[in-house]
């Protein structure tokens, strides 16, 4: 344990607005804030739990505050103590409130003497929402069990008692005990040469929010991809992953040229088992990535560009609440596009942007008005639900509009200054706008009105005249799709031999919601889409084939749903099946076999879908 760090102290100087009470957290940061976490963990694979000791270093700001309030979910608390400067421990009274379905249980620790450090001994639940435990059979190599965390949005509280709000940043150290031959990694600098002796230590010297606290442990091999990057994955996967991600150093250098130095030291990538529910998670120093991007042609490595971009937007400058999450995801998606364009060309960057834009255009009108806003008004929105197409696509579209109006060079300089100005801080939408107005809008008058800015951020839908990239390839695909659906162009005559992943995605996205069965059978016969190893193409294909009534594709769809735990690529297939009684029954059979391989978040999403389908 060591005292407050310089960076942590710097974080204390944030404006009070950044610490506004978070509706998704019980914490009271206007009274006291955690500035450092010293964590000791023992991994118990047989019982699917972590045994933990968390020592929190505190900064008290309200002299009258009677208690420290923390977020927990399904933790068993064994003891709570204050620890003085000499290491003397004194028991503290505490109360664990009844469990709230969304927020978990409030832990109130009586601390009228305002101790600098509080130590909590606890154990996690086998069903912790932020952890997944996989038996050997559910890993790629089927040799050792595997465990990994997913703390975003508010799941860190299920494996560490803390102030689980993005407004609160802290440094951390960790000591982890694991079985021999198991490698442990965390969201801190990792040593690729570390011996597998069962003892691992980590030191995150930069203050991070709780949702970026991460851990994984299992049978992991390491392969360097650059002077400051490596890929971690199961032995059978690591070489393929290293090849797919061999441009990582080029990505880092590209981002640095645009937006300033990479400030985190190492940038490593952990390829998780297929049950990982998201495409990637931007944990500092150690991005967690889905294996579904390993398609062999680098066509999906924009996911790495996205998670790397978070090293500036999200990890360096963080949204202060989930209501402001577009500051993370929208800015990151814009930066991702710039990295992709620089390395893989404007065609791929524009195609990816257009796919996002068309997806948002299809869905935004069906959303509640408040969900269409970049900065929603206070309301009953689940923290996980804030991570929608609006945050990602409308947010990045807003930044592309700013780039178009002010010019790329001017906007690049502005964005670099923004990252420098708010480095290692958590900010609100309003703080971002207070910086935007004098440093871009007013500095270059006549380019964009403040009313337009307000419309983008607080308005519903998509503002008129939002710029849309051109894609001659997509235009050609539109014509071919139209001719194919009209019956004037046979499936085998589609000029699709050289289509990349994005172009197949676009073709399939443009098919009717319920296409004719014969049309889909002709397409499959020509291009063999059933059984494709490319999950992006597969998800779209199965959704349309199921809608067309092609039961011959169901076994392959089931294999897709069982093999992949990524929500975005699995849930749409469950949804397509659930629209008919026979399909719903089949989907339930698939789920019964696949459930134990899914992350708790995926399980919750599928079961919610079934519950809704059963009511119709």
Binding site feature residues for Zn(2+):
306, 310, 329
Q: Which residues are annotated as a binding site?
A: 306, 310, 329
Task: Give SS3 for 439.
Answer: helix
User: Residue 435 and residue 430: Cα distance in Å, rounded?
Assistant: 9
CB 219 within 8 A of CB 182: yes
Q: Write down the catalytic residue from 244, 307, 352, 536.
A: 307
DSSP SS3 for 301: coil
* Cβ-based burial of 165 (10 A; exposed 0-12, middle 13-18, buried ≥19): buried
Residue whose token pair is 């206007």: 30
Q: Is 341 a catalytic residue?
A: no
Q: Decide: 311 and 262 in contact? Cβ < 8 Å.
A: yes
Helix or strand run (H / E) with residue 471: none
Nearest Cα to Cα of residue 166 among 4, 457, 383, 419: 383
| 3-state SS assignment for residue 322 | helix
Catalytic residue among 94, 122, 172, 392: 392
Helices (H) and strands (E) in the chain, counts: 19, 21
Residues 275/599/175/141 CA torsion (nearest 10 deg): -30
Residues 6+ apart with CB under 8 A from 148: 131, 132, 214, 215, 216, 217, 218, 270, 272, 273, 276, 288
- Grouping H, G, I as helix, E, B as strand and the rest as coil, residue 41 is strand
Dihedral angle of Cα 299, 301, 303, 308, to the nearest 10 degrees:
-150
Cis preceding-peptide flag for 410 (omega within 30 of 0): no
Q: How far apart are CA 358 and CA 526, in angstroms?
A: 26
Sequence-ordered list of residues with C-beta below 8 angstroms from that of 458, at least 6 positions apart, any chain:
373, 374, 375
| Ramachandran area for residue 461 (φ above 0: left; ψ -120 to 50: alpha; else beta) | left
* Cα 505 from chain centre: 22
Contact 607, 601 (CB under 8 A): no
Dig out the tokens for 525 from the structure: 């016969």
| Tokens linked to 500 | 């990349």
Distant-in-sequence, close-in-space partners of 314: CB < 8 Å, separation ≥ 6:
282, 327, 328, 329, 331, 332
Residue with tokens 């696949």: 594
Indicate if 503 belongs to the active site: no
Consecutive H or E run containing 216: strand 215-218
Distance CA 106, CA 264 (A): 33
Catalytic site positions: 307, 392
């Amino acid at each position: 344990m060591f005292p407050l760090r310089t960076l942590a102290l710097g974080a204390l100087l944030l404006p009070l607005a950044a610490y506004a009470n978070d509706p998704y957290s019980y914490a009271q940061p206007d009274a006291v804030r955690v500035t450092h976490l010293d964590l000791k963990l023992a991994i118990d694979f047989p019982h699917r739990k972590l045994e933990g000791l968390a020592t929190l270093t505190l900064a008290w700001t309200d002299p009258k505050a009677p208690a420290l309030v923390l977020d927990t979910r399904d933790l068993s608390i064994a003891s709570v103590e204050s620890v003085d400067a000499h290491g003397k421990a004194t028991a503290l009274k505490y109360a664990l409130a009844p469990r709230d379905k969304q927020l978990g249980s409030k832990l109130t620790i009586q601390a009228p003497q305002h101790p600098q450090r509080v130590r909590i001994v606890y154990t996690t639940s086998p069903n912790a929402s932020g952890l997944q435990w996989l038996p050997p059979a559910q890993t790629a190599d089927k040799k050792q069990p595997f465990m990994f965390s997913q703390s975003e949005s508010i799941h860190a509280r299920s494996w560490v008692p803390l102030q689980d709000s993005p407004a609160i940043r802290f440094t951390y150290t960790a000591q982890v005990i694991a079985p021999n031959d198991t490698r442990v990694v965390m969201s801190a600098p990792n040593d690729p040469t570390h011996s597998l002796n069962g003892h691992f230590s980590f030191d995150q010297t930069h203050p991070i929010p709780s949702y970026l606290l991460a851990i994984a442990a299992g049978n992991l091999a390491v392969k360097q991809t650059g002077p400051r990057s490596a890929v971690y994955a199961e032995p059978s996967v690591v070489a393929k992953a290293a090849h797919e991600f061999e441009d990582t150093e080029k990505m880092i250098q590209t981002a640095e040229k645009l937006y300033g130095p990479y400030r985190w030291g190492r940038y490593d990538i952990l390829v998780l088992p297929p049950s990982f529910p998201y495409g990637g998670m931007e944990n500092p120093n150690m991005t967690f990535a889905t294996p579904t991007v390993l398609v062999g042609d680098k066509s999906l490595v924009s996911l790495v560009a996205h998670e790397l971009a978070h090293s500036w937007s999200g990890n360096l400058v963080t949204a202060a609440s989930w209501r402001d999450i577009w500051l993370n995801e929208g800015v990151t998606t814009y930066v991702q596009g710039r990295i992709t364009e620089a390395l893989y060309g404007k065609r791929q960057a524009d195609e990816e942007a257009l796919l996002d834009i068309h997806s948002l255009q299809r869905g935004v009108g069906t959303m509640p008005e408040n969900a269409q806003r970049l900065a929603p008004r206070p309301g009953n929105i689940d923290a996980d639900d804030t991570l929608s197409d609006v945050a990602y696509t409308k947010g990045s579209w807003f930044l592309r509009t700013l780039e178009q109006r002010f010019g790329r060079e001017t906007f690049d300089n502005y964005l670099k200054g923004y990252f420098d100005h708010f480095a290692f801080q958590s900010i609100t939408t309003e703080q971002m706008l207070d910086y935007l107005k004098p440093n871009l809008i007013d500095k270059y008058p006549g380019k964009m009105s403040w009313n337009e800015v307000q419309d983008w951020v607080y308005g519903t839908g998509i503002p008129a005249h939002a710029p849309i990239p051109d894609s001659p390839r997509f235009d050609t695909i539109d014509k071919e799709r139209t001719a194919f659906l009209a019956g004037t162009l046979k499936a085998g005559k589609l000029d699709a031999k050289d289509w990349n992943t994005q172009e197949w995605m676009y073709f399939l996205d443009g098919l009717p919601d319920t296409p004719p069965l014969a049309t889909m059978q002709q397409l499959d016969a020509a291009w063999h889409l059933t059984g494709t190893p490319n999950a992006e193409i597969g998800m779209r294909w199965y959704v349309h084939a199921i809608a067309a009534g092609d039961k011959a594709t169901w076994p392959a769809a089931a294999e897709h749903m069982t093999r992949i735990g990524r929500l975005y690529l699995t849930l749409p297939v469950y949804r397509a099946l659930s629209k008919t009684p026979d399909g719903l029954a089949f989907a339930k059979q698939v789920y019964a076999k696949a459930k134990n391989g899914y992350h708790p978040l995926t399980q919750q999403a599928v079961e919610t879908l079934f519950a809704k389908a059963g009511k119709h």
